[in-house]
Amino acid sequence: MSRTATETVDTITASPSVKRASLIGARIPKLDAPDKATGLTRYLDDIKLPRMLYGKILFAHRPHAHILSIDTSAAVTMKGVRAVITADDIDLVPFGFGRDNTALKKDKITCVRDELAAVAADTPEIAAEAIKRIRVSYEDLPVVGTVEQAIAAGAPVIHEKTPDNQPFHFDYEHGDIDLGIRASDVIVEDTYNLQRQTHCCMGTAGIIAQFDAQGILTLHSLTQVPSLYKHDLSRIINVPPQDIRVIQPPIGGAFGSKLDIHPFEPICVFLARATSRPVKLTFTREEEFMATPTRQPMMIHLRSGAQKDGTFTFRDVRMTLDNGGRTSWGATTPWISMRTFSSLYRVPHVRQHVDVIYTNNIYACAFRGYGNPQATFALESQIDVLAEKLGMDPLTLRLKNAQQPGETTGQGMVLRTCGLADCLKTATKHAGWDVKRSPPGKQKTGRVRGLGMASMFHVGGGAKIHRSDGCGTMLRIDDFGVATVQTGSSEIGQGSETVIAQIVAEELGLDIGKVRVLNSNSDYKPWDVGVHASRTTFIAGNSALRAAREARGKILDAAADHLNLDSVDLDLYGGQVIKRSTGEPLVTIDKIIRGMHFGRKNDMIMTTDFYEPPSEIPDEHSKGDISACYAFGTHVAEVEVDLETGVVKVLGISAAHDVGRVINQLGIEGQLEGGIAQGIGYALTEEVKVENGRVLNLTFTDYKIPTSCEVPELKMVFLETNDPAGPFGAKGMAEAPLVPVAPAIANAVYNATGVRINELPLTPERVLRRIQESRDSESE
């Protein structure tokens, strides 16, 4: 059984004069859970519109080639086929972060998942058969399967406009590296290799597109970012954004995968346009493995130094990204990696250089943690190496350099609250760090145990990368005392709907069942930048709270009027206006509202709010206070390693997170448990294997995500630092729990075996090989 505790640090909540049960911090089941438990929830795949057709895509299935011709005649003439399209039938508008992608490809194939043609047909079977009948003639080109091949002299050029195959370089610096090097007593350096992990949303990707007679396009879309999506998609499909309606049905998992526009989305729109009928396009699992982007693979070369007393001096980072054949958001993940290198611990001199390299491999997009798991793996692994060189305990070294509240990091991020030191102390205490941990032994056979730790740093109050990082709310309370909250935020399974309902219910003294959250249709949804950067609780929560606070004021004023009392003496609780001093119920809220509505006032309670966090867009040197607050956490992993097979078993994880304030205990535990499971998968088994551009594992049998049998013992502690900017003090923490898992495990494997492994996943074969290599080098 998992153990959880919430520890409060520096509580600053003003206590109401009468003690009463609060919804904040309670264990509130998700509001949509009963429908999900009974199978009533209609996911995208469950929606069938009248006269709907089924779309299917022809993928290239070869990594690098010229397209000589595409013959669709045998598909077009099939009974039940309503449209077949190729690049010749559409406007080829470049899109994606590198503007190097188009919905369908003309002339050139740069990776196996390139989309060549698409079909809309009466049934999925006919569509699949039609795809098989399309004949493409290719001229295969030499495959650039690795970064080394891509930068070698005379390498085949993948995109003509980038003759050196190096589309982007990013640089960051604070302080002066040379000073840092000179100030160091100890310097260590290593290269870390991080693999492709894929989201494995249980519901596969898909979309439904439908035009109405006025040319309005309705999309049932899984996007996590509806407002930006409309804007960006509009260009590609040549439909004005105001003519696009986005309906977001419940979603079978996202984890970042629905942040970008993927080619299948405009393709489906083109099919709907070609047929004048609704078209649904969904992926099979095999397509999902091959044709959805992954976590960005990275090679990180890291050098860092410290003084004898453990004070960190500098950190020099070179990252190489295998960008694949096209560019999605993966290329930008180093912008987040950089924050960990610069700001998880105090370090005066930091430099990061990034080379993004085209290959003929599949490409990457956003994935929970966004470049941070990779950076944290490198950094936290290397800190343990430094600790050993310095002869210090890894905990002591981290505590010595931990950021403190009130500091501004080298990258300009202002840590108004910061629980890192407490996280370090708490997680290690719960894991029994002092009593259980001993240096690696000399055992050669059987199984050995070890403990390892890692911390993390992530934005907790949004990330201002667009000119606005805000979110809107429209709130109304009806005659029956039911509050309807239209929020800009989206529910992707993470429970944001419930958190917003809780915040509003708390502020208005309503039963949570009396709050409805509407968030799935762009016709009424206020603007929001989207679900990413762990921002929803913080930003949408703040917006909802402010709208509710205004509504609360209006109710209290009306009640004061009605009761002939001063509004400061009143409060709202349990659906009633109560006397603040005694808690005595005076009149129900709905009665007050009906009184406003039908009485002389002729008014209703409707409020709106747009919350823009007090963060800033980083300057041209990537510096600035990008988020309204920052989240910290520490994990300690205990592992058992079989020295003769290389099997690593995670026995337990103790996690402590600075979450500001817990809003929904059940929800936050769920985020942590789920994030840890994904982190264990990243650490031990998950890798999309790509060889010479081809994806080798396209099933759950060969791409292994954790199952119910791999749940370790978890101890979770949520440290409440009560962030002054957060709703009720809360920070975001959706991405945080995944981030430190892999390095904590790798450090534990080192502690158990004395063997350091700088690449993931820690598969039995890799672990055994490293153990043997280290023995061979010892005996030499």
Partner 1 sequence: MTPTSAFYSPKTLDELLELAAAPDTTILAGGTDLMPRWTKNIHPTPKTVVDAKHIEQLKGVKCKDNIISVGACTPLDELAENPTIQRASPVLAEAAGKVACPQVRNRATIGGNLVNASPAADTAVPLILLDAAIVIAAQGPTGAVSREIPITAFFRGPGQTALKAGEILTTIRFHTSAGEGTWAWQKFGTRPSMEIAVASVGMILRIEDEIVAHTRIGYGSVAPVPMRGAATEAALLGQRLNEDVLTRCVEAAQDEITPISDIRASAAYRREVIGTMLRRMLIHAKGK
Partner 2 sequence: MQKANDKLCIEFEVNGEAVSISVSPSTSLLESLRDHLELTGTKYGCGDGECGACSIMLNGKIVNSCLVLAVECHGSKMTTIEGLANGKHLHPIQEAFVKNGAIQCGFCSPGMIMSAYALLDKNPAPCEAEVKRALEGNLCRCTGYRKIIDAVLSVAHGGSAHE
715 forms beta bridges with: 3, 654
Distance of alpha carbon 556 from alpha carbon 553, whole angstroms: 5
89 binds partner 1 (CB under 8 A): no
- Tokens 């920070």 sit on residue: 731
Q: Is 285 in the site for partner 2 (CB under 8 A)?
A: yes
Q: Which of 109, 169, 286, 107 is nearest to 700 (CA)?
A: 286
DSSP conformation class of 347:
-
Under the binding rule (CB under 8 A), the answer on residue 764 touching partner 1 is: yes
Measure the CA–CA gap between 390 and 399, rounded to whole angstroms: 14
Separation of CA 31 from chain center: 22
Unique residue bearing structure tokens 């007393």: 309
Query: Least Å distance between CB 708 and partner 2?
Result: 4
256 scored as a contact of ligand FES (CB under 6 A): no
Phi, psi (deg, nearest 5) at residue 603: -140, 160
Report phi then psi at 374, rounded to 5. -65, -50
Contact call for residue 34 and partner 2 (CB under 8 A): yes
In whole angstroms, the minimum distance from the beta carbon of 35 to partner 2 comes to 8
3-class secondary structure, 450: strand
Closest residue to ligand FES: CB criterion = 202
Question: Nearest distance from residue 676's CB to partner 2, in Å?
Answer: 6
Write down the residue that tokens 């050029």 correspond to.
Answer: 157
How far apart, in whole angstroms, are the C-alpha atoms of residue 294 and residue 275? 32
253 binds ligand FES (CB under 6 A): yes
* Interaction residues for ligand FES, span 609-648 (CB under 6 A): none
What is the contact mask toward ligand FES in residues 211 to 240, using x (rule: CB under 6 A)?
------------------------------
Closer of 280 and 580 to partner 2 (Cβ) = 280
| Nearest-approach distance from CB 367 to ligand FES, in angstroms | 16
Give the contact letters, 160-199, x = binds to partner 2 (CB under 8 A), - = no.
---------------------------------------x
Region of residue 324 (left: phi > 0; alpha: psi -120 to 50; beta: else): left
Q: How many residues does the chain have?
A: 780
Q: Does 709 bind partner 1 (CB under 8 A)?
A: yes
Among 575, 583, 670, 764, binds partner 2 (CB under 8 A): 670
Cross-strand pairs, 354: 170, 319
Among positions 454-493, residues that touch partner 2 (CB under 8 A) are 492-493
Q: Between residues 204 and 634, which has the closer beta carbon with respect to partner 2?
A: 204
- Binders of partner 2 among residues 81 to 120 (CB under 8 A) are none
* Contacting residue, 10, 148, 178, 286, with partner 1 by CB under 8 A: 286
Is 575 among the residues that bind partner 1 (CB under 8 A)?
Answer: no
- As to burial, measured by CB atoms within 10 angstroms (0-12 exposed, 13-18 middle, 19+ buried), residue 634 is buried
Q: Name the residue nearer to partner 1 (CB basis): 214 or 701.
A: 701
Min separation Cβ 511 and partner 1, Å:
40
Least distance CB 203 / ligand FES (angstroms): 8
Contact 569, 579 (CB under 8 A): yes
Distance of CA 593 to CAs 40, 83, 419, 477, 571, Å?
34, 55, 43, 8, 15
1 counts as binding partner 2 under rule CB under 8 A: yes
C-alpha dist (Å) from residue 678 to 50, 200, 205: 39, 10, 19
Find which of ligand FES, partner 2, partner 1, none residue 326 binds, CB within 5 to 8 Å per kind.
none
Burial classification of residue 151, based on how many CB atoms lie within 10 Å of its CB (0-12 exposed, 13-18 middle, 19 or more buried): middle
Q: Structure tokens of 308?
A: 């004898």
Cα–Cα distance between 455 and 420 in angstroms, integer? 8
Q: Which amino acid is at 778?
A: E
Whether the link from the prior residue into 743 is cis, omega within 30° of 0, is: no
Residue 271 interacting with partner 2 (CB under 8 A): no
Under a CB-based contact definition with an 8 Å cutoff, are residues 143 and 65 in contact? no
559 binds partner 2 (CB under 8 A): no
* C-alpha–C-alpha distance, residues 328 and 96, integer Å: 5
Class of residue 598 by CB neighbours under 10 A (exposed 0-12, middle 13-18, buried 19+)? exposed
Using the rule CB under 8 A, is 704 a contact of partner 1?
A: yes
* 706 forms part of the interface with partner 1 (CB under 8 A): yes
Scanning 529-537, 588-596, 619-627, 703-711 for contacts with partner 1 by CB under 8 A, the matching segment is 703-711
Residues 484-503 within binding reach of ligand FES (CB under 6 A): 493
Binding region for partner 2 (CB under 8 A) out of 144-152, 463-471, 632-640, 702-710: 702-710
763 binds partner 1 (CB under 8 A): yes
| CA triple 633-174-656, angle to 5 deg | 5
Span of 45-53, 199-207, 470-478, 689-697 interacting with partner 1 by CB under 8 A: 689-697
Q: Which of 69, 242, 564, 708 binds partner 1 (CB under 8 A)?
A: 708
Cβ closest to partner 2, residue 495 vs residue 613: 495
Only segment of 438-446, 547-555, 665-673, 766-774 that touches partner 2 (CB under 8 A): 665-673
Other C-beta atoms closer than 10 Å to the C-beta of 438 total: 10
Burial of 642 (0-12, 13-18, 19+ CB in 10 A): middle
Residue of 37, 68, 179, 202 that binds ligand FES (CB under 6 A): 202
> Residues 448-487 vs ligand FES: string with x where CB under 6 A?
----------------------------------------
The residue within the footprint of partner 1, chosen from 645, 713, 724, 773 (CB under 8 A), is: 645
How far apart are alpha carbons 127 and 125 in whole angstroms?
5
Could you tell me which of 774, 766, 718 has the C-alpha nearest to residue 746? 766
Q: What does 763 interact with, of partner 2, ligand FES, partner 1, none (CB < 5 to 8 A by kind)?
A: partner 1
Please name the residue ranges forming H helices in 391-532.
394-401, 420-431, 433-436, 496-508
Name the DSSP class of 768: H
Cα(114)–Cα(57) distance, integer angstroms: 10
Least Å distance, CB 321 to partner 2, is: 25
Q: How many residues bind ligand FES (CB under 6 A)?
A: 3
Quick one: what does residue 66 bind among partner 2, ligand FES, partner 1, none, with the CB cut-off 5 to 8 Å set by partner type?
none
Please, which residue, 381 or 685, has the CB nearer to partner 1?
685
Name residues whose C-beta falls within 8 Å of residue 733's C-beta, 6 or more positions apart in sequence: 458, 460, 534, 537, 631, 633, 657, 659, 668, 671, 672
CA distance 335 to 741: 21
Residue 5 vs 202, nearer CB to ligand FES: 202
Work out whether 697 is an interface residue with partner 1 (CB under 8 A): yes
> Does residue 685 interact with partner 2 by CB under 8 A?
no
Contact set for ligand FES, span 387-426 (CB under 6 A): none
H or E element in which residue 286 lies: helix 285-291
Which of 219, 362 has the CB closer to partner 1?
362
* 313 contributes a contact to partner 2 by CB under 8 A: no
Residues 204-223 close enough to bind partner 2 by CB under 8 A: 204
Gyration radius of the chain's alpha carbons? 27
Query: Least distance (Å) from partner 2 to the CB of residue 223?
Result: 15
Q: What amino acid is encoded at 285 in this protein?
A: R
Q: Is 33 in the site for ligand FES (CB under 6 A)?
A: no
Residues in touch with partner 1 (CB under 8 A): 125, 129, 286, 644-645, 647, 684-685, 689, 696-697, 700-702, 704, 706-710, 763-765, 768-769
Residues in touch with ligand FES (CB under 6 A): 202, 253, 493
Residues in touch with partner 2 (CB under 8 A): 1-3, 27, 29-30, 32-43, 45-46, 199-204, 250-255, 284-285, 492-495, 666-667, 669-670, 673-678, 699-701, 705-709, 711, 714
